[in-house]
Structure 1
Amino acid sequence: MASKRSKADTKTKQRDNHNLNTLKRHKTSKTAIDANDCQLSPKSRQISPYFQSIDRLCYQFFATKTCIQLSKALLGQTLCRRLSPEGPILKAMIVETEAYMGVIDKSCHTYGGRRTKCNEAMFMSSATIYVYKIHGIYHCLNLSAEEEGAVVLLRAVEPLEGIDSMNQLRTQFQRRRRQTSSDDNRVEKPYKPKMLANGPSKLCIAFDITKDNMNKVDITNSSLIWIERSAAVCAEDIVCSKRIGISGDQEWVDKEFRFYIKGSDFVSKK
């Protein structure tokens, strides 16, 4: 009897641990979208067959860290964007992030548990992309974290590959804003590399990231956007400061939840 009871207890513990891990793994019943074919990503979250030979960040990288830890760990990693299934690949090193702590953060879109159609991605599984608009025309790229409603904002990157394409995207955006045609006689100078993506909206323009094409996408299981593993940035090389453009409750305004690589010329502000 003791032996049978021991086996039963073991099975119960295994089942309980499995259920606990499942709860930790899924913040919502919704699954992130695969940007390649707009189909729902597999719940197993296996790495896409497109990238079996690439050391890209997987779900566990995101799920095993707090929002603060993730904000720091993303520094130095390589953001990659394929502009189309057969198109060029853009690459840039993440040099600046901000942490938004979810339902407890008075500067966060989900403060107090506020949940809307617009911020739904913030409540989805870790590594889900959340894109929102500012001023009606600009976008900001975020990645959901483990805490309820928490995200990491990618504020700036250092361009590495595909700089000509980034320049073209920035120039085309400016033309649309001016409502001028491509045969305008104006001579447009290319952007300096450090000015291409040194801000959240510049980043989104340079990488062609919008709410329509990237919101709710699982960045660990997409053939159009992913993050490749690079050397981690040492703690002494990470600068902490107040988040930019935050107003309201002074306690949260003063939180040093902005992180950037010391000495980088590609950050939005020093």
Structure 2
Amino acid sequence: MAGEPQPLPPSLGDSWLRRQRLGCDFFNRPCVSLAKALLGQVLVRRLPDGRELRGQIVETEAYLGGDDTASHSRGGRRTARNTAMFMKPGTLYVYQIYGIYFCMNISSKGEGAAVLLRSLEPLQDLDTMRQLRQAQHKSPAKALKDWQLCNGPSKLCQALAIDKSFDQEDLACTAGVWLEAAPKAPPEDSVICTTRIGISGDWAHKPLRFYIRGNKCVMSPSEVVQQPARERTGSQRCCSGPWK
């Protein structure tokens, strides 16, 4: 039925019968709505050897395109790098920063709009995540605490072995990475709406970052004023006002 999570195909292992994969309809919503809906969902990475890594999404940021000067697609700008932002909702946009690290985004409804995954709470096979994180360092890294494994956009990509090869993949059907429905949706009053990190200019104060209150894996939760996120009808709104 449209809008309901779909079961994983049998090719993804015997455990697929006990889990549900989020389908195309889940991603087909406006960017702010998707950024909030992603909180609590479980990101799964299936490695080539069959091991599955899981983490619950606890922090996201919305990038709206158009007038959003912090977005890679600001002003409708299309490049070879950001093509995925203009593809169907649920398309992965993976880009490289500093020539070393990767960040993972999910396209949404809306021209050039996408959601950045900022932090995960690790759930399954944390030892492998730790090994993958440490493999990124030329010298031996100090032991990472569990909450440090995925508490940042490039960290979660390291921990799940996500790189540029996943760019433009359809999250609803690709075999190497997918989303599973949240075991339990976070209460509405636990979802915090605040400003994005590392943004300058006119859009620096727009409340487009969302996270689960009190989760230790959230990146820098206390740096900014926190407000409960709210859904309002009639226009796409968040916190204190509508987007113009």
TM-score normalized with structure 1 length: 0.75
Match of 1:255 in 2: 206
Q: Which runs of 5+ in 1 are unaligned?
A: 1-44, 179-185
8 A contact 1:75–1:97 mirrored in 2: yes
Matched, 1:224 2:169: no
Amino acid at match of 2:174: S
Q: Which amino acid aligns with 2:94?
A: V
Which structure carries more strand by proportion? 2
Name the SS for the 2:128 alignment partner: helix
- Name 1:123's counterpart in structure 2: 86
Q: Does the CA-based 8 Å contact 1:48-1:223 persist in structure 2?
A: no
Tell me the equivalent position of 1:198.
Answer: 151
- State how many pairs are aligned: 211
The separation in 1 between residues aligned to 2:111 and 2:10, in whole angstroms, is 30
Measure, in 2, the Cα distance between the counterparts of 1:120 and 1:233: 32
Q: Which protein is richer in helix relative to its size?
A: 1
Deviation at 1:47, TM superposition (A): 6.6
Q: Which has the higher contact order (CA 8 A, sep 6+)?
A: 1
Partner of 2:196: 243
Cα distance change, pair 146–47 in 1 and its aligned pair in 2 (3 A): farther
Contact 1:94–1:157, Cα closer than 8 Å, also in 2:
yes
Structure 2: 5+ residue stretches without partners: 1-5, 222-244
Match of 2:242 in 1: none
Distance in 1, matches of 2:7 and 2:159, equals 29
What do the CA deviations read for 1:57-109 (whole angstroms, capped 9, x no partner)?
Answer: 1000111x21111100100110000111x321000000000000112311101
- Decide whether aligned partners of structure 1 residues 167 and 46 sit closer, same or farther in structure 2, where only a CA change above 3 A counts: closer
Match of 1:39 in 2: none
CA distance in 2 between counterparts of 1:91 and 1:163 reads 9
Structure 1 residue identity aligned to 2:83: E
Identity over aligned pairs, percent: 46
The C-alpha deviation readout for 1:180-233, integer Å capped at 9, x for no partner, is xxxxxx6x543101111100000110011111x210111110121001001222
Task: Please list, as runs of the form range in 1=range in 2, the aligned pairs for 1:1-270 lying within 5 A after superposition.
Answer: 48-50=9-11, 53=17, 54-63=19-28, 65-84=29-48, 86-175=49-138, 178=139, 188-211=141-164, 213-230=165-182, 231-248=184-201, 250=202, 252-270=203-221
SS in 1 for 2:216: coil
Superposition deviation, residue 48 in structure 1: 4.5
3-state SS of 1:233 partner: coil
Shift of 1:49: 4.9
